Structure 1
């Protein structure tokens, strides 16, 4: 196949209009009502991605734009479809499979302008996130409120999720067709939620000193500290943890209570209970632990 000409058309990899070489062009004509349909294989001059382009030229409806210039109305369909200017969630493979799949299908519905299905899909994405996070309730309204109460989303974000719930309900029950701009805004809200809950959370835990609220994570950190500590030392918990004690942000006391219980029952064997005494000149007395 030889390159015949150059067209400007959306690129599914560049997410914008770029110049493409036409690698192949097959034309079918309809003469009763003059219409030419071009079936084209095109290649982006920027990234080299190949795609399919269908151009319907309505020759019967040609109109004059200048004294010696005429314009033929055209409908252009590209495959894969392109949502120009939009970048999908990065590292989507790190997101739980159910959430990732319903997000992908919702994005595809928006891209191909299946507005009713897109509205339902965006609402279903919220449902999937609630299921994955084990947030229960008799209705999605209650579950969104619980997301906020659990601190998984802010109050403002919860209000936005309710708006998407309304959009999805209208699509499902009233067969309401949302306008493209509303869907794009709703998509952006869902993507920000996915990135916050799954992408940034995972990245931050490996690169930043994030807060630790879960006792299991506390015990894991404590064990890592003890692996390099001197056996026989008798120290308060804050001294063993060092600067990482700040990561528990009000949870350290409850974790210490659980730790003492586990030591007493014999389920945690890397420490034993020591004296109750002051430390570093403080007036308050702290529980000390002996490193085994």
Structure 2
């Protein structure tokens, strides 16, 4: 057991440090290494700004609530609860994104399948799933180093699904693959056209046609069907034209 007064090299804040190493309960993990249970606490506990998330206010309530309560558990040194909370945060994101699967293992895989996260990100989330399972079923206390890395992974998940998405859409020309975003872009472009203008999608979108993903044909087919059904009052179907020397045709739309 060690006691010390420590001082931050950055802000010069001082605190009391308690470091306990449980030698009697140490156990071998290899021929040359031992794992020794230890506990480190600082008083007063300082809030770690690295745990905060820029734009947390736009994150859905249930995800934000679980993450912030997890952060509180970390501040209090309740690392078993922190492990459970990080796992719970991932599950809350999956539920919010309507990612089915029945269990967290399949949910994480479906996050990858839906393209919400990369395969590598999914592999890292499974590590947190293991951490949370150990905390829940074996009452195994994670090390602070494990929690620190796990927090970074969960923060990256929240940023990828929520905060970065909004920031990018407001400042960068992101690719559009969702139908609602596709329609919003068309309606925005049509607002600058004159009534009676008859144009194909490529002319309506202009430079922004490059933002439409690989499912461009499927998106326009659905839009054309909805226009024919009268679901978009600001536009109606026009003529069907073809490229010179080609049998391929394309639809024109008339601004109402």
Q: What is the TM-score when the length of structure 2 is the normalising length?
A: 0.81
Could you tell me how far apart the structure 2 residues matched to 1:55 and 1:189 are? 27
Describe the SS at the equivalent of 2:253: strand
Residues 51-130 of structure 1 correspond to what in structure 2 (within 5 A)?
77-83=42-48, 86-130=50-94
- Structure exhibiting the larger radius of gyration computed from Cα positions: 1
Describe the shift of the 1:282–1:271 C-alpha distance in structure 2 as closer, same or farther (beyond 3 A): farther
Could you tell me how far apart the structure 1 residues matched to 2:226 and 2:162 are? 31
Quote the residue 1:154 is aligned against.
118
Describe the SS at the equivalent of 2:50: coil
Describe the SS at the equivalent of 2:237: strand
Deviation of 1:82 (Å) = 3.8
Quote the residue 2:193 is aligned against.
229
Contact 1:245 1:252 in 2 (8 A): no
Describe the shift of the 1:282–1:92 C-alpha distance in structure 2 as closer, same or farther (beyond 3 A): farther
Could you tell me how far apart the structure 1 residues matched to 2:196 and 2:147 are? 62
Residues 95-244 of structure 1 correspond to what in structure 2 (within 5 A)?
95-244=59-208
Contact 2:67 2:89 in 1 (8 A): yes
User: Which gives a bigger RCO, structure 1 or 2 (Cα 8 Å, sep 6+)?
Assistant: 2
Could you tell me how far apart the structure 2 residues matched to 1:291 and 1:182 are? 58
Runs of 5+ consecutive residues of structure 1 not aligned to the other structure: 1-6, 11-15, 21-41, 43-52, 57-74
Aligned length: 230
Describe the shift of the 1:97–1:145 C-alpha distance in structure 2 as closer, same or farther (beyond 3 A): same
Greater share of residues in helix: 2
Deviation of 1:228 (Å) = 0.9
Could you tell me how far apart the structure 2 residues matched to 1:86 and 1:257 are? 46
Runs of 5+ consecutive residues of structure 2 not aligned to the other structure: 19-39
Could you tell me how far apart the structure 1 residues matched to 2:17 and 2:205 are? 67
Residues 21-36 of structure 1 correspond to what in structure 2 (within 5 A)?
none
Describe the shift of the 1:204–1:282 C-alpha distance in structure 2 as closer, same or farther (beyond 3 A): farther
Greater share of residues in strand: 1
